[in-house]
């Protein structure tokens, strides 16, 4: 059976192994997921159900959570970049790659502006971190 046209291109795109930007996005996403699992295991002082992920950026293993923000942001931006030319987009779906790239930028901003200690008063950096993280969550959900 031979598939021609857009359906054939779409199917061939699905069957092709990831490389370049696609592979980078997949590897970064897997590494970031693994890093969050490790943080939950080593940070026994934080209840995973009672604390936000941003609080893992404080303390001994904080650099891991900061790297997760950067890695997830880069993975999201890379996925958006790759999707913009990988598929044929019609109508409102054209926005999906742009939303993914914007979410990536927001996650990187969230990593740059870290959250403070839970008992400390909120600072400008913490507000920027919170709004960027919420924005990234909304953008990822909509995309």
d(C-alpha 103, C-alpha 140), whole Å: 6
The structure tokens 């997949």 sit at 26
d(C-alpha 116, C-alpha 12), whole Å: 48
The pLDDT of residue 12 is above 80: no
Higher-scoring residue by pLDDT: 110, 17: 110
pLDDT of 7: 60
Task: Give the model confidence (pLDDT) of 97-136 as tens digits.
Answer: 999 999 999 999 999 987 876 666 678 888 899 899 999 9
d(C-alpha 45, C-alpha 123), whole Å: 24
Q: What is the mean pLDDT of residues 1-20?
A: 61
- Residue 39 parent element (H or E): helix 20-42
d(C-alpha 4, C-alpha 28), whole Å: 33
Task: Give the model confidence (pLDDT) of 27-48 as tens digits.
Answer: 999 999 999 999 999 999 989 8
Q: Residue-wise over 2-41: b if at least 16 C-beta within 10 A, else e?
A: eeeeeeeeeeeeeeeeeeebbebbeebbeebeebbeebee
Entry pTM? 0.79
């Amino acid at each position: 059976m031979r598939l021609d046209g857009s359906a054939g291109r779409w199917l061939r795109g699905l069957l092709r192994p990831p490389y370049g930007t696609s592979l980078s996005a997949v590897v970064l996403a897997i590494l970031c997921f693994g890093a969050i699992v490790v943080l939950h295991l080593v940070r026994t002082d934080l209840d995973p159900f009672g604390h936000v992920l941003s609080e893992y950026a404080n303390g001994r293993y904080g650099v891991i959570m900061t790297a997760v923000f950067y890695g997830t942001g880069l993975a999201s931006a890379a996925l958006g970049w790759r999707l913009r030319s990988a598929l044929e987009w019609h109508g409102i779906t054209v926005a999906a790659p742009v939303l993914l790239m914007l979410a990536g930028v927001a996650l990187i901003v969230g990593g740059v502006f870290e959250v403070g200690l839970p008992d400390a008063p909120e600072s400008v950096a913490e507000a920027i971190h919170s709004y960027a993280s919420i924005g990234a969550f909304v953008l990822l959900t909509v995309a």
